[in-house]
Amino acid sequence: MIRLHRTVRFAVGKDGDPESPNGFAGRPAFQGLDRHYELFITCRGEIDPVASYLIDIKEIDRAAHASVIPAIRHAALTDDQTPPCRVLHSAFSALNAALAGRVESVRWNLSPYYSMEIHVNHPTTALLRQRFDFAASHRLHVPSLSDDENRRLFGKCNNKNGHGHNYQFEACVRVDIDRDGRHAFTLRTLEDIAQRTLIERFDHKHLNEDTLEFAHPGGVMPSVENIAQVFYRLLSGAIAAETQGASLATITVWETDRTSATYPA
């Protein structure tokens, strides 16, 4: 088995140009103040022994433009209040049928930081992802080791007064697609809970000095791996306590653009 990924970019507006030659930037192309979206489509199967590929990517594009994109366009242009997960869900079966059952998942990137995904193995739930940022300082230091051992182990990260990062984290939440509007878990729900549970608690703090979760004694050292686990525990508990039809799947924390940790794996 092999997975093939295809990104389909498109604009939604009243006067989109379906014949734009620049498929990389999106077709239909931007006109004025249109909305720009991406579909990240993953197909799975065996490589065709004659064609030497899983599927012609032009087939994926045609199927997306025949099923998913019209559903999104209709919802966007009619001011429909249907949650994005339902819009994507309504078109998923048609897309999968057009591609002979080879679609494993579709992620709709509504912005660079907000997306909705449906997986063929979990057709009644969607994965809502949103990214947040916060600034904090920390020190990597193990109290049971000597000062020399800590310096050898952590180098500059063992600086006595700590050092700072502009962290980012992304919450991935399983959402019940069939939940009615009054109880639906939305992006605003996630943003409110994340703000109260994590950002207000840790933003512009010295994690070792100002927080119970990472202070000594009793807390854990604020490595990016431990931050991911602590954030998951706090956010998953808040989502479970305050909402219905939603649960936290994973959380990813970026210490820099080159270093991140995801929990659970």
Q: Where in the sequence numbering do the catalytic residues fall? A: 157, 204, 255
The interaxial angle of helices 84-98 and 57-66, nearest 10 deg, is 130
**CA–CA distance, 150 with 76 (Å, rounded to integer):** 55
Distances 69 to 18, 27, 28, 59, 265 between C-alpha atoms, Å: 12, 10, 10, 14, 32
- Which residues in 178-214 are b (16+ Cβ under 10 Å) and which e? ebeeeebbbbebbeebbeebbeebbeebbbbeebebb
Contacts of 10 (CB under 8 A, 6+ apart): 16, 26, 27, 28, 36, 37, 38, 39, 65, 69
Extract the tokens encoding 98: 């057009």
Extract the tokens encoding 45: 């199967």
Amino acid letter for position 22: N
Q: How many other β-carbons are positioned within 10 Å of the β-carbon of residue 256?
A: 11
